[in-house]
Amino acid sequence: MRILIDTNIRRRAITHVTRMVPQPIKWGNIEQMISVAQRSDYPPREDETFIKEQIPYLVILTTAAKEGKVEFYTSFELQMEEFRQRGIAGSEGYFGTDLFRDVPMKKLPCPIQRSIVIGAYTSYGITEEEQMSFIRSIQHPRFLQISKAVEEAHIDDAFHLWSAEEASLDVFLTLDKRFRNVVYNKRKIIGSPVLVMTPKELCEHLGLEPSNIENPALNPNDQKPT
């Protein structure tokens, strides 16, 4: 099964981060403060029950990807979203936990390509406004059909779904519950061969059991698909 990974999946896969925490150190009669790297918990908020429910299933899916049982994909436009969210890449530090560490990730071509410039004095194409302007300019009939059905609030996700279709992928994996519900409720209008699913839904579809540990961030690699 070939799966396109939404940016919110990558963001929530960071379950711990490394922070420099001031600590008092005493040498004889001298006490001074030094910064010590510590792993800090990065759990969902108490009101994010939906996210909490999904994380154990995400653990199993990332393990399945490492074992070659499923294939994960990203795209240029998804990588641009990640680029702007600096907290995703590299935030695990020396001993943080990223569920996507060592997970193979293939890159699919977007249906319509664009150029960006990143320079010391001039940059363009990298801001959210520029990315959204590009997406809104697309006049391809299939994209317009999807974007019209999901409406403006989800136009970027419409592009990702269209990208998954063009690459003949099976699933667009997301934690955007509203987008998933819109696609499901309008599935007859959209008529996409790509399933828009949450980690829990995909695991149930594949017959995979969730992690049975209280905190999957502690040792996600110990959890194996059944």
Question: Could you read off the pLDDT tens digit of each residue along the chain, which spans 226 residues?
Answer: 999 999 999 888 877 667 778 888 887 788 888 887 776 766 677 778 898 899 889 999 999 999 999 999 999 999 999 888 764 444 555 555 788 988 999 999 999 999 888 887 888 888 999 999 999 999 999 999 999 999 999 999 999 999 999 999 999 999 999 999 999 999 999 999 999 999 999 999 999 988 754 544 444 444 444 3
Q: Which DSSP symbol is given to 109? A: P
Q: Looking at residue 34, what is its pLDDT? A: 84
Q: Which helix (H) or strand (E) holds 183?
A: helix 177-185
Q: For residues 33 and 101, is the Cβ–Cβ distance under 8 A?
A: no
pTM: predicted TM-score of the whole model, two decimal places: 0.81
To the nearest 5 percent, what fractions of the chain are helix, strand and coil? Answer: 40, 20, 40
Token code pair at residue 94: 């020396």
Strand arrangement, sheet containing 171-173: 105-108, 71-75, 2-5, 171-173, 195-197
Spelled out in words, what is the top-level CATH class assigned to the domain 2-17+44-222?
Answer: alpha beta
State the CB neighbour count (10 A cutoff) for residue 123.
Answer: 12
What digits encode the pLDDT tens for the residues 141-160?
999 999 999 999 999 999 99
